[in-house]
Amino acid sequence: MAYDDLRSWITALERAGELKRIVTEVDPILEISEITDRISKAKIPALQHRTSERHTPGPALLFANIKGYRRAQVLINQFGSPRRMRMALGVDSLDEVAERIHGFLDVKSPQGFLDKVKMLPRLAEMGRFFPHVAASGPCKEVIQRDSFSLLDFPVLQCWPKDAGRFITLPCVITRDPKTGKRNMGMYRMQVYDEKTAGMHWQRQKVGAEHYREALRAAAASRDSAPGRAIELMARTSGGSQLPDAGVPAGRLQVAVAIGTDPAVTFSAIVPAPPDVEEYLIAGFLRQKSVELVKCETVDLEVPASAEIVLEGYVNLNELRNEGPFGDHTGFYSLEDQYPVLHITCITHRRDPIYATTIVGKPPMEDGWMGKAVERIFLPLMKLTIPELVDINLPLEGVFHNLLIVSIKKSYPGQARKVMNAIWSLGQAMFSKCIIVLDEDVDVQDLGEVALKALNHIDPERDIQFTLGPIDSLDHASRLPNYGSKMGVDATRKWSSEGFSRPWPEEIVMDQKTRDLVNRKWASLAKEIGLE
């Protein structure tokens, strides 16, 4: 099911019993975060009986009485459970999306006229997903070119030592200055004042690359040496100091959509292939194209049904302190310097709903979004690493600290090959610890993973270390964005890998006895008191 906008999504959540409207007055400074954190972790006695899943996350929340904000509403925790993630993408199982992706990836080159004819329906279906630009849309109901303020919206301060208020669920749109291709990413934004905000695109993100492309172009226009441009790029998007007067002047246009339909919002976080636009991914997920409108003051297109749109630019010669910020690692990310977004125009729907999220110690809303990415994009990983059977990014691993994979092992040293392949894949390059197991291990069962991995390894032999890029939020690395990673080969060892001892069999009951007990189990369970 495709949701036309955030409001139809809210209606669907409410009908499904997955959303609660809160009329008690709440403060956007810390109080909404504390309430949502408790709901995310089910610290409410009324929720404790729900034991069908490992965690018992509470409902999405729509706050309708915000202190200091007349008629404002705040939506939070919209993706904060496995069921709501499935609802957001209109499926009963996330594997359905993975299967659709696999179906498109499995298209073979046509060998003749008949094959080409058979491909026409598939091509027509793909055509439905491309975005289209409309003359106007709901996000244009109110247009503010002069008298506007970011402080008119109930932006949250999430944690006590945050540097201030942060926009945490923005869809940030930029255009590659070199190719003209659009990108949509999700980068937090610290609100500095009425018309400026920090643009926290980490250096490995596409938005930061667009910024660097603009720097390259500006440096080239001034006949700067290539080395100078590289130095400038290294000192921006999370650098350690402000650039000096030699930085070339110029701007990169930016638009920010807040409160989009769930497929668009989710698409902003997916690790898309570089040449695949997020609007196309959103169209694929919702099985319906995304309608866009042109911005008023910048040459960019935004979702027509967005609740709020910010338009503006970042100067290429301006960085400012951003942070600290209570992050999804469970710790505060440290203060650093990032570009500044200058707002030139704000458009929004009448009485806009401010969509936001909080991150912190898992489990929280972003964890369920990450698990959806894990399921949906496994087929894409298998294109590069075909021996992959399954992957697990545990919530406690906060996306980049731990990746558990199972493989179909066919030759010696294959587990190490897989580790290195993962470290070469997009955002997976930040995986600090990778554990590789055999195909018969259920990587979703952490108890089985611990049992098999710890039994199967000789630490000196089976653990390897390497150096490379590290997630910007990793506070333990020796340098910002650079540090060590660990791979663990927890597969069975073969003689061709130098293991000469016999490998023991796993303890498993024989099937005859299992069948015998199965026939008696109903009465036994009653006697034992298991019913």
In 3D, which of 359, 355, 370, 367 has the Cα closest to residue 326? Answer: 359
**Do the Cβ atoms of 40 and 82 come closer than 8 Å?**
no
Dist. CA 95–CA 375, nearest whole Å: 7
Query: Active-site residue numbers?
Result: 327
Cis, peptide link before residue 274, omega less than 30° from 0: no
Residue 473 φ/ψ, nearest 5 degrees: -85, 0
Dist. CA 25–CA 31, nearest whole Å: 10
Helices (H) and strands (E) in the chain, counts: 15, 23
Dist. CA 484–CA 476, nearest whole Å: 10
At 264, list the tokens.
Answer: 């668009």
Dist. CA 140–CA 293, nearest whole Å: 9
At 107, list the tokens.
Answer: 């298209």
Cis, peptide link before residue 324, omega less than 30° from 0: yes
* Element holding 38 (H helix, E strand): helix 31-40
∠185-131-281 over CA atoms, to 5°? 50
DSSP conformational letter for 46: G
